[in-house]
Amino acid sequence: MPGETLFKPLTWSDMLVMAPELALGAWFVLLVVLEMLLPQTIRRTWIGGLTLVGLMGAFTLVLLRMVDMGNSEATGLISLLGDSYRIDDFANVMKLLFLGGTALITLIGIGSVGEDRTITEKGEYFYLLIPAVIGAMIMASSGNLVTLYIGLELLSIASYVLVAMRRKSSLSAEAAFKYVVTGGISSAFILFGMSYLYGVTGSVDFTGIRAAIPAAIESYEALLYVGFAFMLVGLVIKIAAAPFHAWSLDVYQGAPTPIAAWLSVVSKGATLAIIIRIMFEIVLFAELPSAEAGGAISVSDDIFFAVLLVAAAAMLVGTIAALRQMNVKRLLALSGVANGGYLLVPVGISFTFGHINNISEILFYLVAYLLMTIGAFAIHTVVSRAVGHDELQGFAGMYYRAPWTAIAMVIFVLSLAGLPVSAGFFGKLFILLGAAQAEAYWIVVIMVVSSVISYYFYFGLIRQMFMRSSNGVSLSPSLRKDLKEEAASVEVEDIHTGTIRIPLTIGIVIWLCALATLAFGIFPEILSNLIDSLFSIQSFLTNMQ
């Protein structure tokens, strides 16, 4: 069969190349066994420390693999399992982000899980992050539809359980149910689209699909549109971009706060990685027929334009819907919707003769987004525990209770809003300038408008912290009733008037993220040069073809 993929077995040398993934999988099995053998009287929170050790070990192995690939004379691409698993600069950088982000979220969990009475299985809470991040790593290296789906489902199944970890909370149960249903619908769309692509091209391998697209366009152009459309819709649901974003608000609100941060950063980043693979490896570099190139160009342009439309909808819907949002978790979920739109812009504008830095722009903003989002969720973790709810009113007078933490939150808010002296400012600026170079002026206007709209609700946090008194702040009777269960789920310290206590591990996360956000905002060349040293656009383009 043309384009048939032969799944070759792993050799010992291949296993060494896949050491980060395999070692992390072995560490997960070890933690499961240890947790089962320990008596119930022993606290399980120490498993968080072991989880962190495993993540940092895998992070180190990825770095060593990058050094080894950099010292070799190869093309910068290692192909395994019949080209179904591809290890290149892009995959390695994404894996570093996934592992680093998961490590920060693990630190937040270490400082907060022990006091959350609704989480009964505290060991599972930590070690289930490992298969989830392995799924994200597989997605980043996928060169095949089957490999893509395996990584996607591994990430999804582990995420479903993590969202439901607060077993004594009805909100968590509701969030998990909605997440499972939405995730199942998303997977169904993706599988349906995959079946069409396989049916018209005869291959599940990215390179095979790309090579077969010209012939498929001549006979099955409509079916090709259907296949890509269904896959795009499924992936847009996963990334929580408008108009398929509504699930994220309920899921983020009901999930444990560190898990909501993980979904917002790592899960979204993994889906973005596979969108980049599909759009730039299959759609962009499909070989065009010499006589009738017009049809193929039309299909490619239409698919990239559809991504831009999704990006525009995500930016506008995310910011407008957040204007009247008073729940901080739901507010951050809508912020994630808008930021997902910003991240999709460099994908949608594609490569042009005057602009080929799309991936570097995505990586810069993804780093900034990781830092500011995890930092904001970390602060909300301690604030919500202090006041007993997730409402915006909980930040009232925060400057007078925890001035340095309030200053750190200001840094994150400035970055989320895309204002100067923050990494988020330069991240948005680079994407905006790239879109202008590609002459996509309409998307530039939407980026600017959505950013201006976002100032209102982002500065609502600052207004609460600096311009509202912590004394006398009260919740409505109906809201108190709705939040009664959630307030009883944690050890509330001193509602509205007490000093906010910040555990050491959460403090490390807050200030590591805040200082990095500030440093990359003042000296953006540090992050830009680091990305350029780890990722080569020329190598990426060569490997994609």
Neighbours of 325 (CB within 10 A): 18
Burial zone of 477 (CB within 10 Å; 0-12 exposed, 13-18 middle, 19+ buried): exposed
Distances in Å between the Cα of 328 and the Cα atoms of 44, 88, 212, 541 are: 29, 38, 48, 41
Task: Give pLDDT, residue 294.
Answer: 47
Residue 291 three-state SS: coil
How many helices and strands, by DSSP H and E, does the chain display?
Answer: 23, 2
Residues 6+ apart with CB under 8 A from 460: 392
Asked if omega into 524 is within 30° of 0 (cis), the reply is no
Q: What percent of the chain has pLDDT over 90?
A: 55
In the chain, where the domains are located: 16-544
Which residues partner with 276 through β-bridges? none
Q: Which amino acid is at 502?
A: I
pLDDT per residue over 289-346, tens digit each? 434 444 445 778 888 999 999 999 999 999 999 998 899 999 999 999 999 999 999 9
Q: Is the pLDDT of residue 544 over 90?
A: no
Q: Is the pLDDT of residue 254 over 80?
A: yes
Read off the pLDDT band of 470 (50, 70, 90).
Answer: low
Distance of alpha carbon 407 from alpha carbon 411, whole angstroms: 7
Mean pLDDT of 143-161: 93
Task: Give pLDDT, residue 322.
Answer: 93
Task: Give pLDDT, residue 93.
Answer: 94
Mean pLDDT of 67-80: 75
Task: Give pLDDT, residue 487.
Answer: 46
List the one residue out of 430, 273, 258 whose CA is nearest residue 332. 258
Q: What are phi and psi of 142, to 5 degrees?
A: -65, 135
Longest dimension (CA), the chain: 75
Distances in Å between the Cα of 541 and the Cα atoms of 207, 248, 253, 275 are: 13, 34, 40, 16
Top-confidence residue, 136 or 400: 136
Q: What are phi and psi of 388, to 5 degrees?
A: 85, 10
Q: Is the pLDDT of residue 75 over 70?
A: no
Q: Is the pLDDT of residue 221 over 70?
A: yes
Question: Residue 121: left if φ>0, alpha if ψ -120 to 50, beta else—which one?
Answer: beta
Mean pLDDT of 275-300: 67
Mean pLDDT of 511-518: 96
Which residues partner with 80 through β-bridges? 85
Task: Give pLDDT, residue 286.
Answer: 63
Do the beta carbons of residue 55 and residue 501 sit within 8 Å?
no
Task: Give pLDDT, residue 497.
Answer: 46
Least confident of 11-15, 149-153, 224-228: 11-15
Q: Is the pLDDT of residue 403 over 80?
A: yes
Task: Give pLDDT, residue 185.
Answer: 94
Q: Is the pLDDT of residue 400 over 70?
A: yes
Mean pLDDT of 9-18: 76
Burial zone of 146 (CB within 10 Å; 0-12 exposed, 13-18 middle, 19+ buried): middle
Read off the pLDDT band of 120 (50, 70, 90).
Answer: confident
pLDDT per residue over 35-59, tens digit each? 888 877 777 778 889 999 999 999 9
Encoded tokens for 508: 């490390």
Sign, Cα dihedral of 254, 259, 261, 262: negative
Torsion of the alpha carbons at 49, 55, 60 and 65, rounded to the nearest 10: 160
Residue with tokens 């995310």: 318
> What b/e readout covers 92-113, taking b as 16+ CB neighbours within 10 angstroms?
bbbbbbbbbbbbbbbbbbbbbb
Read off the pLDDT band of 536 (50, 70, 90).
Answer: confident
Distance of alpha carbon 462 from alpha carbon 211, whole angstroms: 53
Which residues partner with 391 through β-bridges? 327
Q: Is the pLDDT of residue 285 over 90?
A: no
Q: Is the pLDDT of residue 83 over 70?
A: yes
Do the beta carbons of residue 376 and residue 412 sit within 8 Å?
yes
Read off the pLDDT band of 474 (50, 70, 90).
Answer: very low
Q: Is the pLDDT of residue 163 over 80?
A: yes
Residues 6+ apart with CB under 8 A from 438: 349, 350, 352, 354, 355
Neighbours of 211 (CB within 10 A): 18
Do the beta carbons of residue 54 and residue 31 sit within 8 Å?
yes
List the one residue out of 386, 388, 379 whose CA is nearest residue 489. 388
Q: Which amino acid is at 79?
A: S
**DSSP characters for 406-445?**
HHHHHHHHHHHHT-SSSHHHHHHHHHHHHHHHTT-HHHHH
Read off the pLDDT band of 207 (50, 70, 90).
Answer: confident
Encoded tokens for 528: 């830009």
Task: Give pLDDT, residue 98.
Answer: 97
Top-confidence residue, 301 or 353: 301
List the one residue out of 411, 425, 401, 400 whose CA is nearest residue 378. 411
Mean pLDDT of the chain: 86
